Each structure stands twice: as structure tokens, then as C-alpha cells.
């Protein structure tokens, strides 16, 4: 894996860089072969809150997690735990649903559950993941609505009026379906197709 580590309101020291690389590289044990992926790490500090965002785009899967803590090293530990849970969920779900060669299933090691018994930080890891984290997702409500053509600014106003965290709309310029959303930092994001 190739690391792209950058800081915002924070100097990325060699110690921080090494700690991130050491922790994130532990994810390699979940794969049959080390993924040839770029690891994008963004660390930032706002007041006393240290936030780390890790994105690992792979051909058939994108791993992404974000965590905040008062200590950057603790935030790094938390974000790696979150990424491990994501890998476990994906592995469990793809084992149930995809059986053909070339699927995401063949990226992961077969005995992923046995990794719980490996020694982590000098102690055996007996961490068990709750069953609810690996069950299939249940859709409890479906909404249907017409996509009104509008620009991103109007979509943000609509989203704020409704009190939602995201809003789906038809982009009046491109005609594509887009999504605006409120980020954790209070600013807005736009999702559009390539």
C-alpha cells in the first residue's frame, strides 16, 4: 500500500506518519495478497478535537472511515478498528451473496475469523463483533419522489428546510442525479456521478 498522509492545522511528524503506517498496514492481514492501493489519510485539528479520515480505494471496494478524539494517536487506533469492522462486514456479506470468481470475495482471506486469535500489540485479541454488525441490512421504509431539476445551492436550501442530512436532486445543468449532504464539520458536500 502507498500512503498519502497530509495534515490540516497539524504538522505530520515522522512519529505520527510511522504510527499511521504501522497501524493501517495491519489491515493487510485480511487480504490474500497485499492490495496495490493508495491509502489517503487526512489528519486535522479543530480546537481540541483531533480528526483522522482514511480512504482506501480498491478496484471493487472502497474502505473509508473517520474518527475524532482529543488525542490523535487514540483517533488513529479508533479509525483502524472501524476499518477492520468494515472489512469483516464486507467479507461476511460477500461470502453469503457472491459465489463467482473475480468477485470481492476473492480479495479476502478465507479464515478471516481466525485472525481474532492472532497476537495484537503483544496480547491475544479476543474481540468479538456483535452479530448485529454482520447481519444483512433490513430496509424498513421506502420513499419515492420526483426529482425536481435544481442547482446545488437550491438543493442545500431544500435540505436545510426539511432538516435532513442529505438531499437527492436532479442537477439542472447536467441532468444527472446528485446528492448534497451536510458534513460533520458543518460544511456541505456534493456527490455526482463520473
Q: Domains of the chain, with CATH numbers? A: 2-133 (3.30.160.100), 149-191 (3.30.505.50)
Distances 41 to 20, 49, 57, 125, 144 between C-alpha atoms, Å: 8, 16, 12, 25, 37
Q: How confident is the model at residue 136, as a pLDDT?
A: 62
- Confidence label for 120 from pLDDT (cuts 50, 70 and 90): very low
Q: How confident is the model at residue 96, as a pLDDT?
A: 60
Q: How confident is the model at residue 30, as a pLDDT?
A: 79
Q: Over 70: is that where the pLDDT of 106 sits?
A: no
Rounded to 5, what percent of the chain is helix, strand, coil?
35, 30, 35
Share of the chain above pLDDT 70, in %: 74
Q: How confident is the model at residue 169, as a pLDDT?
A: 92
Q: How confident is the model at residue 70, as a pLDDT?
A: 93
Distances 34 to 42, 57, 88, 103 between C-alpha atoms, Å: 22, 13, 16, 17
Instruction: Assign 3-class secondary structure to 120-177.
Output: ECCEECCCCCCHHHCCCCCCCCCCCCCCCEECHHHHHHHHHHHCCCEEEEEECCCCCE
Neighbours of 84 (CB within 10 A): 20
Q: Over 80: is that where the pLDDT of 119 sits?
A: no
Neighbours of 155 (CB within 10 A): 24
Q: How confident is the model at residue 128, as a pLDDT?
A: 47
Tell me the pLDDT tens digit for each residue of 131-140: 445 456 678 8
Q: How confident is the model at residue 126, as a pLDDT?
A: 45
Q: How confident is the model at residue 98, as a pLDDT?
A: 52
Mean pLDDT of the chain: 79
Q: pTM (2 decimals)?
A: 0.57
Q: Can you tell me the mean pLDDT for 107-118?
A: 53
Tell me the pLDDT tens digit for each residue of 58-104: 776 778 889 999 999 999 999 999 988 888 877 776 656 554 445 55
Write down how long the chain is.
194
- Cell numbers given for 165: 442530512
Burial of 147 (0-12, 13-18, 19+ CB in 10 A): exposed
- What contacts 116, CB < 8 A, 6 or more positions away? 125, 126, 127, 128
Distance CA 130, CA 51 (A): 26
- Confidence label for 18 from pLDDT (cuts 50, 70 and 90): very high
Distances 146 to 164, 168, 172, 177 between C-alpha atoms, Å: 17, 10, 14, 11
Amino acid at each position: 500500500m502507498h500512503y498519502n498522509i497530509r495534515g490540516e492545522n497539524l504538522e505530520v511528524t515522522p512519529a505520527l506518519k510511522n504510527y499511521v503506517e504501522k497501524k493501517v498496514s495491519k489491515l493487510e492481514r485480511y487480504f490474500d495478497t497485499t492490495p496495490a492501493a493508495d491509502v489517503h489519510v487526512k489528519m486535522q485539528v479543530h480546537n481540541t478535537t483531533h480528526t483522522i479520515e482514511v480512504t482506501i480505494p480498491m478496484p471493487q471496494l472502497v474502505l473509508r472511515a473517520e474518527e475524532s478524539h482529543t488525542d490523535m494517536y487514540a483517533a488513529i487506533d479508533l479509525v483502524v478498528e472501524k476499518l477492520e469492522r468494515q472489512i469483516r462486514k464486507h467479507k461476511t456479506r460477500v461470502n453469503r451473496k457472491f459465489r463467482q470468481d473475480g468477485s470481492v470475495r476473492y480479495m479476502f482471506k478465507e479464515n478471516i475469523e481466525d485472525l481474532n486469535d492472532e497476537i495484537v500489540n503483544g496480547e491475544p485479541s479476543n474481540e468479538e463483533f456483535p452479530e448485529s454488525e454482520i447481519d444483512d441490512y433490513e430496509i424498513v421504509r421506502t420513499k419515492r419522489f420526483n426529482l425536481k431539476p435544481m442547482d446545488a445551492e437550491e438543493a442545500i436550501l431544500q435540505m436545510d428546510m426539511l432538516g435532513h442530512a442529505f438531499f437527492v436532486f436532479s442537477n439542472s445543468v447536467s441532468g444527472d442525479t446528485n446528492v448534497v449532504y451536510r458534513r460533520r464539520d458543518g460544511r456541505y458536500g456534493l456527490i455526482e456521478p463520473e
